[in-house]
């Protein structure tokens, strides 16, 4: 196919991905959204899987349910992220008081769902979070160096280099770095 004939499919695919992300960010099921938008669950599923193209009427109902304008939705689906994020362009933030440094390896983008960050905790550092920014946020944490004790929703885990902890965060969490070696890890969120 020529690139011109792929364009409608690509836009439909990006709209589908954005619609799915908007619903998931709110923690809504397809049934919840169907009730809020007066669009059937079957149609919503087909839209989110890019099996059909959305009509202006359906997009209008969905935008109303999400509390955004149609132009805002279209802006959210623009494919405007750079595929390469050089290390020199990655944002680093340091909380010297707690001993935590965060490097945003793969920053959020409108058309992408996942993000990646590198965290480093100095020896003995502790970070406590009261809750997630969004209930059910999916985490994949890979420990690179040191030892890390993590408590997620009341369950305690100890990670060693190469270990991966996967979880959906719904409540508080705590990160305790080894008292001698500290900890360095990669965290992928979806």
Q: For 59-73, how does the pLDDT look when each residue is reduced to its tens digit (9 = 90+)?
A: 878 888 888 777 677
| Mean pLDDT of all residues in 10-23 | 85
4 confidence band (pLDDT: 50, 70, 90): very low
d(CA 7, CA 114): 24
Collapsing DSSP to helix, strand or coil, 184 comes out as: strand
79: pLDDT confidence band, cut at 50, 70 and 90? low
Q: At 65, list the tokens.
A: 């349910």
Question: Can you tell me the distance from the alpha carbon of 185 to that of 190, in angstroms, rounded to the nearest whole number?
Answer: 17
Residue 106's beta-bridge partner residues?
116
pLDDT at 187: 96
Mean pLDDT value of segment 176-180 = 97
For the chain, the average pLDDT equals: 86
Whether 163 and 146 have beta carbons less than 8 Å apart is answered as no
95 band by pLDDT with thresholds 50, 70 and 90: confident
The band of 117, judged by pLDDT with boundaries at 50, 70 and 90, is very high
Q: What is the pTM of this model?
A: 0.62
Q: Check residue 1 and give its pLDDT.
A: 35
Mean pLDDT of 25-33: 92
Residue showing tokens 């087909």 = 46
Q: How far apart (Å, rounded) are the C-alpha atoms in residues 89 and 103?
A: 10
Position with higher pLDDT, 171 vs 54: 171
Q: What are phi and psi of 120, to 5 degrees?
A: -135, 130
């Amino acid at each position: 196919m020529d690139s011109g004939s792929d364009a409608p499919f690509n836009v439909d695919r990006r709209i589908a991905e954005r619609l799915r992300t908007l619903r998931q960010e709110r923690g809504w099921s397809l049934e919840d959204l169907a009730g809020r938008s007066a669009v059937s669950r079957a149609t919503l599923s087909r839209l989110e899987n890019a099996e059909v193209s959305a009509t202006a009427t359906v997009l209008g109902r969905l935008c109303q349910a999400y509390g955004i304008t149609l132009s805002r939705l279209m802006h959210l689906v623009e494919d405007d992220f750079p595929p390469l994020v050089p290390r020199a362009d990655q944002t680093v933030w340091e909380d010297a008081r707690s001993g935590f440094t965060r490097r945003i390896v793969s920053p959020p983008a409108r058309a992408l769902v996942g993000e990646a960050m590198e965290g480093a905790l100095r020896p003995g550092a502790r970070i406590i979070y009261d809750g997630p920014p969004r209930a059910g946020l999916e985490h994949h944490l890979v420990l690179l160096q040191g030892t890390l004790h993590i408590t997620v929703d009341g369950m305690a885990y100890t990670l060693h280099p190469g270990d991966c902890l996967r979880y959906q965060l719904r409540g508080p969490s705590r990160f305790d770095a080894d008292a001698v070696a500290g900890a360095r890890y990669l965290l992928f969120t979806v």
